[in-house]
Structure 1
Amino acid sequence: MIRFRNSLRVAVLGMVMFHAVAAHAAEVSGAGSTFVYPLLLKWAATYYVKTGQQVSYQPTGSGNGVRQIKAARVTFGASDMPLKPDELRAAGLVQFPLVIGGVVPVVNLPGITPGQIRLSGPLLADIFLGKVVNWNDPAIAAINPGIRFPDRKIVVVHRGDSSGTTFNWVSYLSKTSSAWNESVGTGTTVKWPTGVGATGNDGIATYIRNVEGAIGYVELTYALQRNLSYAAVQNRSGTYVQPSRESFSAAASAADWSQRPDFYQIVTDAPGANAWPIAGVVFVILPRAARDAASAKAALAFFKWALNEGQADAAAEHYVALPAALVKQIEAYWSENIK
């Protein structure tokens, strides 16, 4: 674990920092969500080429990102769990959605290909509760006819850090399993009944790839980049849905942002036959009145570019861009709430 954390620090320093910026450019720094890291990395690189503006981002987990922005150590925080309006006001912060993606269960089972197996919310909850402990359990076989599972112990892998990806994962489990809701509940951190912890989406992806019999959860891009096998998951309508930009978009289309103060909304377990049930929204958190006005202005310019011109990058990284009407609503929110 120590070796992994050291490697992650090296990766962050080597991949995220963009140097040799114009002398007049304000410094823009961010921290938080690992869920959105692949896209923010790509956006920052593209934006730097276009404008010479440096945007540095540390994928430290949503909980850490919230702590960093509250302490004014970064220009912006990013979290997959929205803050409630009262908490935002108390801390002098604002938030807005940036992009939509999906959390997927990933497994390491020899011979199992991406999307081949099916899992439901109650079954996933029982696995992460430690009630279903072997891959040849009848409950798994019952919804996967024709697939022969090995007589192998299930190794549960979960986040060990404060994580918005975890928040969306356990939100889905809580909405579909009363046993999970009553015994574990939701949050960026929970008291896990079983399993081993890893840091960041990348940490879970690495563990899954290296340990046969393992199951965990990551944002889809991490699964695709590392060629991990993911599962189709049962949604509210009873349909087993494959994770894709289309199913994420179907989940997002059920959301109505117009009456949501500070855009507070959770989109897991969305209605719709084609909706992915573990969709997540990434939120950017900024101060209402920043100490460094130049950096705050530069950050807003970056996000305005990302929301209006960064759509191709979002699609390439398997995220869903926000609808144009919502982008206009966000820009009006900036004018009304950020000094």
Structure 2
Amino acid sequence: MNTERKAVSTTTIAIVVVLIVVVAGAGAYALYGSNYGGNTTSSNTTTSAQAETLGGAGSTFVYPLMSAMITQYSGLHTNIHINYQAVGSGAGITDLESHTVDYAASDAPLKAADQAKAPNALTIPVTIGAITVAYNLPHIATGLNLTGDVIAQIYAGNITMWNDPKIVNLQTNATLKAALPAQQIIVVHRSDSSGTTFTFTGFLTQDSPAWAKEVGQAKAPSWPTGYGANGNAGVAGFVQGTHLTIGYVELAYALTSTPKLTLSAVQNPAGKYVVPSLQTSAAAALALSNLPAGNGDWSGVDLLNKPGATTYPIVTFTYIFVYKELSVNTAQTSGKSIAGATALVQFLWWAVHDGQQQSQTLDYVPLPQNVVTLDEQTIQTITLNGQPLPTS
């Protein structure tokens, strides 16, 4: 595998840097406000009653939905302040293990090493979403077909030109074939420890034996080629602002960029090229069964390459992790008092019920009922000093 990073000119790099700043500021950031760039959401309500403040951190993938949920919940419960920092799944898990947050969010399940550091942690699926393969090619506004193996070869640095025959031969549109430029592919990946990356590299691992052998699945792999950008917003901004790029981005970021990112149709196990959407992502959830308990091992769970002709193949859960016995987290609100612990439990209960109403408008898939039931069972096991906590 080619381990040399592909070079672009100094002028191109300078343009990339400028455009990321300008486009991200004017595009995706505009939808969620100035905090989007700062990767933080905070409910800022006031009340005469004693306020409880909860802190969370993790996935950038789920940030648009988490932000909407927190805004709605804080309007309903003005004595509860909820903060969420979108620092990446890996950093969120580390924060939970070090007891610096009440909850963490991640698109990657806890590994054995994480479970050892947080043996009391529960897994609560909170949503389902798709990871797109976005590109920026002049004169090709739609219709690019890609397979998992070809995407893996691009990210391995083995396919370096947009008019490589392995890309050209996947296209069914003669005009699109002719429009693929004889120019270098600029590869963009995440620079942070990322659950989005974990899912994306998991897909490549399933579809490419070479990728599985030489790189594999990880939140922060050793990338053979490409340029790093921080968070989903960073990758979206890079691709949006720079011609000849390819990058992987969560669906909500792709569709809310201004203008929207151009998305590849990715081949699924049925041999069909499927464009990511709410509907094609939801199809992946139809096959969900035999899920672990909330205190079980979720490391083998994924929503990749699920069956169905209309199923998009790169889909994932986002999980919230909390401690089952909250007293182990005495540095945080939920571990200090019954009021703080109850505030966390009731927010989680609301998120997997009424909070799901926020999902579809942001292109996330609402949780299926069997997953909601599993979440209910898990949340009801959370205690403080052995005392059960009310969910409503």
Give the TM-score category using the shorter length: over 0.9
- Per the normalisation by structure 2, the TM-score is 0.81
Distance in 1 (CA, whole Å) between partners of 2:217 and 2:121 is 23
Q: How far 1:13 sits from its partner (Å)? A: 5.5
User: Which letter does structure 2 place at the counterpart of 1:215?
Assistant: I
Decide whether the 8 Å contact of 2:127 with 2:367 is kept in 1. Answer: yes
Q: Secondary structure at the match of 1:180?
A: helix
Q: Secondary structure at the match of 2:381?
A: helix
Distance in 2 (CA, whole Å) between partners of 1:135 and 1:258 is 41
Output one character per residue of 1:262-293: Cα deviation in whole Å (capped at 9) or x when no partner.
36111112222222111010000101222224
2:263 is equivalent to residue 230 of structure 1: yes
Decide whether the 8 Å contact of 2:282 with 2:365 is kept in 1. Answer: yes
Q: Does the C-alpha gap of structure 1 residues 258 and 162 become closer, same or farther in structure 2, counting only changes over 3 Å? A: closer
Q: Secondary structure at the match of 1:336?
A: coil
Q: Secondary structure at the match of 2:52?
A: coil
Residue in 2 that maps onto 1:33: 59
Q: Which of 278-287 and 137-146 deviates more?
A: 137-146
Q: How far 1:105 sits from its partner (Å)? A: 0.3
* Match runs of 1:88-103 below 5 Å: 88=115, 90-91=117-118, 92-103=120-131
Q: Secondary structure at the match of 1:27?
A: strand
Distance in 2 (CA, whole Å) between partners of 1:337 and 1:14 is 28
Q: 1:218 aligns with which of 249, 256, 262?
A: 249
Distance in 2 (CA, whole Å) between partners of 1:334 and 1:251 is 25
User: Which letter does structure 2 place at the counterpart of 1:280?
Assistant: T
Q: Secondary structure at the match of 1:43?
A: helix
Q: Which of 18-27 and 266-275 deviates more?
A: 18-27
Distance in 1 (CA, whole Å) between partners of 2:35 and 2:291 is 42
Residue in 1 that maps onto 2:364: 319
* Match runs of 1:250-289 below 5 Å: 250-259=283-292, 262=296, 264=298, 265-289=301-325
Q: Secondary structure at the match of 1:215?
A: strand
Q: How far 1:12 sits from its partner (Å)? A: 5.5
Q: Secondary structure at the match of 2:69?
A: helix
- Per the normalisation by structure 1, the TM-score is 0.93
Decide whether the 8 Å contact of 2:40 with 2:84 is kept in 1. Answer: no
2:272 is equivalent to residue 239 of structure 1: yes
Decide whether the 8 Å contact of 1:96 with 1:263 is kept in 2. Answer: no
* Match runs of 1:1-339 below 5 Å: 11=36, 16-22=41-47, 23-52=49-78, 53-84=80-111, 87-88=114-115, 90-91=117-118, 92-114=120-142, 116-145=143-172, 146=174, 147=176, 148-226=179-257, 227-259=260-292, 262=296, 264=298, 265-290=301-326, 291=330, 292=335, 293=337, 294-339=339-384
Output one character per residue of 1:4-55: Cα deviation in whole Å (capped at 9) or x when no partner.
6xx8996455962222333423111110000000000111111111111221
Q: Does the C-alpha gap of structure 1 residues 202 and 259 become closer, same or farther in structure 2, counting only changes over 3 Å? A: closer
Distance in 1 (CA, whole Å) between partners of 2:268 and 2:309 is 7
Distance in 2 (CA, whole Å) between partners of 1:168 and 1:323 is 20
Q: Secondary structure at the match of 2:352?
A: helix
Q: Secondary structure at the match of 1:262?
A: coil
User: Which letter does structure 2 place at the counterpart of 1:101?
Assistant: G
User: Which letter does structure 2 place at the counterpart of 1:164?
Assistant: G
User: Which letter does structure 2 place at the counterpart of 1:38?
Assistant: P
Q: Which of 166-175 and 8-17 deviates more?
A: 8-17
Q: How far 1:94 sits from its partner (Å)? A: 1.2
User: Which letter does structure 2 place at the counterpart of 1:309?
Assistant: D
Residue in 1 that maps onto 2:8: none
Q: Which of 33-42 and 322-331 deviates more?
A: 322-331
Decide whether the 8 Å contact of 2:97 with 2:117 is kept in 1. Answer: no
Decide whether the 8 Å contact of 1:12 with 1:59 is kept in 2. Answer: no
Q: Secondary structure at the match of 1:301?
A: helix
Q: How far 1:117 sits from its partner (Å)? A: 0.8
Q: Secondary structure at the match of 2:236?
A: helix
Decide whether the 8 Å contact of 2:42 with 2:70 is kept in 1. Answer: no
Q: Does the C-alpha gap of structure 1 residues 176 and 83 become closer, same or farther in structure 2, counting only changes over 3 Å? A: same
Q: Which of 79-88 and 222-231 deviates more?
A: 79-88
Distance in 1 (CA, whole Å) between partners of 2:77 and 2:43 is 12
Q: Which of 185-194 and 81-90 deviates more?
A: 81-90
Output one character per residue of 1:122-148: Cα deviation in whole Å (capped at 9) or x when no partner.
000000000110111111111113212
Q: How far 1:112 sits from its partner (Å)? A: 2.0
